[in-house]
Amino acid sequence: MIQDLSHLQDPEPEATRRDTGTTESSRASRGWWDRHADEYQSEHGAFLGDDHFVWGPEGLDEAEAGLLGPVSLLEGLDILEIGAGAAQCSRWLKAQGARPVALDLSHRQLQHALRIGGGIPLVEADATALPFADASFDLACSAYGAVPFVADPVQVFTEVHRVLRPGGRWVFSVTHPVRWAFPDEPGPEGLSVAASYFDRTPYVEQDDTGRAVYVEHHRTLGDRVRDVVAGGFRLVDLVEPEWPAWNSQEWGGWSPLRGNLIPGTAIFVCERA
């Protein structure tokens, strides 16, 4: 007889806005990404491509964007990918002759990196405490990895600064800050301002004991610039990818409808001072 165990499943977490610090944010992220890595990779793996470097749901590809610098100059560089997930970006970097290292907090995400293969060195660690010696890398990058999920992004930037060699680039993408004023919905309901852009209170999903199980942190555009500078970087460019005509795919709250009207991703191109 098959037992009905549905009553034992976790109840839906409650979505709220409340303060949450570094430790609770990290713990929530590790648990959430471990539990949802399979779903994330089966839903988005084909769009990302096993060995492509895609900056976000718009589909901007590093092969065309060249935000890390000219593709022909990547050969031989030591590159740290932060919040690498299944290390798709690192696989593309390796194909260009670079020496990438893929770091992620989630064991399950890194198991997907192993499943896909490619011989990328994988490191399970928190971006707020990078387990590398000073000046180990020429470049660092992150496509939506770690930065949106940490309580104190300056901690991450200071660590990236420490492990980069002088003049090294640090390029990362995050949800465009303006999106925080809108409901996270792909349809027309996601086009009307519903919250203050200036409210930095984190988005938290919590279980019935009040424990955070998912966390995202909001910074305004100005906050992000100040954080980059406080971490010891110079801002070289701020890229807001436009929604391309070829992309008909929805990704959560990112859709062609909204993408044609408001920015969805912000990519910060920084240089170590």
Ligand X SMILES: C[S@@+](CC[C@H](N)C(=O)[O-])C[C@H]1O[C@@H](n2cnc3c(N)ncnc32)[C@H](O)[C@@H]1O
User: What is the chain's Cα-based Rg?
Assistant: 18
Token readout for 227 is 């954080």
Cα end-to-end span (Å), the chain: 66
Please choose, from the candidates 53, 73, 45, the residue with its C-alpha nearest in 3D space to the C-alpha of residue 173.
53
| Least distance (Å) between residue 56 CB and ligand X | 8
Instruction: Using the minimum distance from each CB to ligand X, give the nearer residue, 36 or 191.
Output: 36
CB-based burial label for 93 (10 Å; 0-12, 13-18, 19+): buried
| Least distance (Å) between residue 201 CB and ligand X | 19
| Least distance (Å) between residue 173 CB and ligand X | 8
Instruction: Using the minimum distance from each CB to ligand X, give the nearer residue, 86 or 270.
Output: 86
Interface residues toward ligand X, by CB under 6 A: 26, 29, 33, 48, 83-85, 104-106, 109, 126-128, 143-146, 149-150
Q: What angle do CA 236, 240, 245 make, to 5 degrees?
A: 140
| Least distance (Å) between residue 53 CB and ligand X | 9
Token readout for 27 is 């713990």
Total length of the chain = 273
Instruction: Using the minimum distance from each CB to ligand X, give the nearer residue, 48 or 163.
Output: 48
Instruction: Using the minimum distance from each CB to ligand X, give the nearer residue, 191 or 213.
Output: 213
